[in-house]
Amino acid sequence: MFARLVGESFARNPRRIALAAAALAVGMAVTTATLSVALDVGDRLALEFRSLGANLLVTPESDTLPLQIGGVDYRPVDEGAYLKEADLGKLKTIFWRHNILGFTPFLDINRDIQAGGDSVDAPVIGTWIEHDVAVPDGTTYRTGAARTHPWWKIQGRWFGESARECVVGEALASRLGGMNALMGRNVRVDAPKQNAASASGAAAEELKVTGIVSTGGAEDDAVLVPLQVAQEMAGKPGEFRRLYVSALTEPEDAFSQRDPGSMTPAEYDRWYCSPYISSIARQIEQVMPGASARAVRRVAETEGRVLTRVSGLLWLVTIAALVAAALGVAATSAAAMIERRSEVGLMKALGATNLMVGGIFLAEHLVLALIGGGIGFGIGVLLARVLGESVFGTPASVRVTLLPVVLGLAAAVALFGSVVPLRRAAGFEPAQILRGE
């Protein structure tokens, strides 16, 4: 009898049922789409942020001790401790090794650059562009500035990994006669005149210019050479001064910023096994003796702020969609209750309790929730794919596990929207209704 009453209600009021189902379907479609994107937004934005460059800087531990007087750093660019190139493969053995997207070592030395009749004192920067690194497990990993500094632009071509070649920074090239005067020709790299007697490393080098690089940074006023060539010039084979690491991380929170030394064993395990930038930095320090890893704050903080705001916006849209669906159901239920006032009065006159009357209406709304939630989920999956494609270039992944969540939310919205109409129905007096009052 109960099921029959519910079925007849659907049959007698198809337009009202369709309107309520449509409100639920629209709300659940938006909810499904935003939840799908919100669950993927962390990983997707993290990948997008890697176009901003590396977010970790690794230097010798002794370099973290300041040597400044009056705010001026008196440490020479090519003096101090060095890190071992042989340790770089160990970066792909840490707990979060798959989150390491790339790393690039740098070795800076001051040299006198001569081209034609011009001579300037400028940094020579040794680095990798595309380099295969041997990993202790027997595999190789290709990395270099092409991964950690993707915004660098080259006119011409990059130098060969083991060739006696170089690329010149855009600003330095203009000081040496311009691109046309340098491309394809040799430049002479020698120790600076002011300290030639004490300069370390090999004698003067003749390097062929293969390109002009534009980076927007200090490299624009320098000569970039293969790391091996810079090591030979500096007399530091197999060593480098700084390392940039690009790693996928999750935004920092209050827990990630705590001192690991003050954590309990359980808290330390949770921190260590989370891809915080601080925990990845600690793991890098563990596999590279004498190294100090720290976040490039301007990158890490920007990522955290943007991700927090985007996630907050998506959750706000989700809540707004649920509230709108609830209001739509409430309006439809209120209108239905007025239309069925005589029906409710007759049921009460025949002995139906408020619980039974409410049960019939709640059952109707639960069926509506299943119908509207199912339709909304299907539409939401398509909408999420469109949003993912337009915003991130790839469609959002379909998460079947969201279906029960969406149906549960639809049921909650339907029940919440029917609370006020049901309270009004509970106050109906059958005698007054049957008398037409």
pLDDT tens for the chain, 437 residues: list them: 445 555 555 556 667 777 778 888 888 888 888 888 777 766 666 656 656 678 899 999 876 655 555 444 445 444 568 999 999 999 999 999 999 999 999 999 999 998 877 788 999 999 999 999 999 999 999 999 998 998 899 999 999 988 899 999 999 999 888 888 888 889 999 876 555 444 454 568 899 999 999 998 889 999 999 999 999 998 899 999 999 999 888 777 788 888 888 899 999 999 999 988 899 999 999 999 889 998 876 555 566 666 677 777 878 888 888 888 888 877 777 776 666 666 666 666 666 666 666 667 777 778 888 888 889 888 888 888 887 777 666 677 777 888 888 888 888 888 887 776 666 665 555 655 555 55
DSSP line for 342-390:
HHHHHHHHTT--HHHHHHHHHHHHHHHHHHHHHHHHHHHHHHHHHHHHH
Is 427 strand, coil or helix? coil
CA 23/CA 29 separation, integer angstroms:
10
Whether the CB-CB separation of 145 and 102 falls below 8 Å is answered with no
Please name the residue that has the structure tokens 């969609």: 321
Other C-beta atoms within 10 Å of 11: how many?
A: 9
Q: Which two tokens stand for residue 346?
A: 């007759």
CA 22/CA 327 separation, integer angstroms:
12
Return the closest-CA partner of residue 152 out of 82, 249, 52, 241.
52
Give pLDDT, residue 302: 61
Strand-strand pairing, 165-169 and 223-226: antiparallel
Q: Which residues lie closer than 8 Å to 315 by C-beta, 6 or more apart? A: 34, 38
Give pLDDT, residue 123: 92
Amino acid at 200: S
The partner residues of 73 in beta bridges, in order of sequence, read: 68
Amino acid at 90: K
CA 179/CA 176 separation, integer angstroms:
9
CA 225/CA 168 separation, integer angstroms:
9
Domain boundaries, the chain: 2-47+308-434, 55-295
Cα torsion angle, 184, 186, 192, 198, sign: positive
Tell me, rounded to whole angstroms, the distance of Cα 271 from its chain centroid.
Answer: 19
Give pLDDT, residue 77: 47
Residue count (the chain): 437
Return the closest-CA partner of residue 283 out of 242, 258, 247, 250.
247
Return the closest-CA partner of residue 34 out of 391, 335, 326, 427.
391
Please name the residue that has the structure tokens 């977010």: 55
Q: Which residues lie closer than 8 Å to 384 by C-beta, 6 or more apart? A: 32, 33, 36, 37, 395, 396, 398
Give pLDDT, residue 386: 82
Please state the pTM of the whole predicted model: 0.66
The burial class, CB within 10 Å (0-12 / 13-18 / 19+), for 125 is buried
Q: Which residues lie closer than 8 Å to 186 by C-beta, 6 or more apart? A: 206, 207, 208, 209
